[in-house]
């Protein structure tokens, strides 16, 4: 397999599930999880900080109220709700 095809395959694997955002208003009050890197090309701390900084600037300039968490690609998250029994 040539290098260009490997790079394309790795990018496709890294995409995962996507949320369609048509405007910043779609993010209002939401939690945005941004994963950087993939198995073949893990993100460095500097890359994660760079993406985080760019998002902070973008959201600040556009007055977007959205909680954003930027991390490496292999984090898992679970929502645990309070049991009201």
Give the containing element (helix H, strand E) for 70: strand 67-72
Among the residues of 16-67, which ranges form H helices?
45-61
CB 45 within 8 A of CB 52: no
For the chain, percent of residues with pLDDT exceeding 90: 32
| Banded pLDDT at 16 (limits 50, 70, 90) | low
pTM of the model: 0.63
């Amino acid at each position: 397999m040539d290098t260009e095809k490997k790079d394309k395959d790795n990018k496709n694997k890294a995409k995962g599930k996507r949320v369609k955002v048509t405007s910043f208003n779609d993010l209002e009050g939401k939690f945005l999880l941004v994963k950087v890197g993939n198995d073949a090309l893990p993100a460095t701390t500097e890359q994660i900080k760079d993406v985080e900084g760019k998002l902070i600037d973008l959201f600040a300039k556009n007055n977007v109220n959205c909680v954003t968490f930027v991390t490496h690609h292999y984090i898992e998250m679970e929502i645990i709700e309070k049991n009201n029994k």
